[in-house]
Homo-oligomer: A and B are copies of this chain.
Amino acid sequence: MNDLNLDRLFNPKSLAMIGASANPRKWGFIILLNILKGNYRGKVYPVNPKEESILGYQCYPKVADIPETVDLVVITTPAKVVPALIDECGMQGIPFGIVVTSDFSESGPEGAALERDVVARARKYGIRLVGPNSMGIFSSKTNLHAKMPPMMPLHGNISMFSQSGNLGVQMLGWGAEEGVGFEKFVSSGNEGDLNCVDYLGYFGNDEDTDVILGYLEGIDPGTDLFPVARKISRKKPIIVFKGGRTDTGGRAAATHTGAMAGESKIFKSALRQAGMLEVKTSQALLDCARAFANCPIPKGNRVGIITRGGGWGVITVDACEENGLIIPPLSEKIIKKMDKFLPKYWSRGNPVDLVATIVQDPYLDCLEILAKWDGIDAVIALGAGRRAPKYSYSRKVTGPQPLVDAIKMVEQYFKNQAKKRDWMLEGIGKLIKQTGKPIIVVSIGPETLHRSNLYEFQVVSYPTPERAVRVLWQMYKYRRFLDSSQAS
């Protein structure tokens, strides 16, 4: 059951949109529009007995009228007509359906009965269903945007299943803003038929997926989540964010999906044993996804820190120590190597504090020495990816000509620095390849300061050292799992 092949679900050759609507206030219109706007590579058949065409595409009265057997139907009709539609699809031999329609088990006993009916009919014909109450799926290979929100995710090597549609799709949108790309996504809805273990198993076997993300609220106690996950964790990281960790949170989860919240402590320990990495915040989910998708896994927990300012070095050390990462003192040999590049009064320690300098920049030289040192497994590079500060946003200066000239000169200097930044990031990218160690860049400030061109150099960056440390800590946890007997 966990080697289910969902290829025709995620990359259908053709699909039918049942409940396609010409009314822009209906999801049957919005989802069809998203599919078409997303340049889906297959053929789309809108189904609606009341329309001749929608959005310029021929409309079919019913599924049986479509001239081929589609791989997938997307259903957005009212709940009460869904059972009959499943029969129709079943008789056509359609293998997969996404039931976006809500008002099933999440809305009470009546809806739950209807959901059981739908699932029973689907089983009879062998149709596998996503949902009901799903926000849909996304797949980069066929440009399939069969989902409610109109945002277009970036393409990448991360796949995600989410027991909250809203949280999941917002992760896709947030990822697009931060340069984190996705391969496949599914909002699992009420999981009347296919559940998150099925998606996990499929992503585990999927060659295009390198990192798996999951948002979980409730897990059936009889599930084989943990054995399935343990097998996959050996091959690729599974990063999980659990909602409903607290009593009140668990009750809130129960009201908006059919699922019961998992027992938190038992759940946590089972996750760990299965090699799954639990993050505690929504930001951490995206941060970790980005690092695991781009960086090598460190061999151990010894971290080298390089900084342009003492205070930032100090708080990075604190964050490392508080998370079980070690900051080894530099060896005499390494200190001697760095002496060549640094003023005589440099700190001679880890963190390597470059001391404030205006013109010379020994950053990359010192970083290379640090990264190649066999005394550390990973590097946090503070202030490496800095962009030009917004020097020009002060009021216009009126003053003597030499002052005006000097300001222009300094502005030019910062522009040149910004160019140098690409050269540095390229250098860091090379060092990562050469050493096989993760070098995590930290550039203080909002995300916008360092999203622009980091990825072309395979470098990841975070706006605070604490976020970089949190990511390294998760990578180290994954290393320990890989090295442990559980992984063998």
Q: Which residues of A contact B (CB under 8 A)?
A: 24-27, 29-30, 33, 36-39, 53-57, 103, 107-108, 148-152, 162-168, 170, 173-174, 176-178, 215, 217, 241, 243-249, 251-253, 255-257, 280-283, 308-315, 317-322, 327, 345, 347, 349, 351, 353, 356, 358-359, 389-391, 393-395, 397, 399-403, 406-407, 409-410, 413-414, 444-449, 451, 463-467
Contact = CB atoms under 8 A, between A and B. Distances in A.
Given A56-B401, A103-B345, A445-B173, A314 B406 contact: no
B403 A55 contact: yes
Contacts of A400: 55-57
A256 B33 contact: no
B312 A166 contact: yes
Contact of A39 (B164, B389, B395): B395
Given A244-B314, A318-B244, A466-B283, A309 B164 contact: yes
B358 A25 contact: yes
23 contacts: A24-B406, A33-B407, A55-B399, A56-B400, A56-B402, A57-B400, A108-B345, A150-B410, A150-B414, A151-B391, A152-B391, A152-B393, A164-B312, A166-B310, A170-B309, A177-B448, A217-B311, A245-B318, A255-B347, A256-B314, A282-B315, A282-B465, A283-B467
B166 A356 contact: yes
A289 to B, nearest CB: 15
Nearest to A312: B167
B312 A170 contact: yes
A246 B317 contact: yes
Given A391-B150, A464-B282, A314 B39 contact: no
Contact of A245 (B107, B166, B322, B406): B322
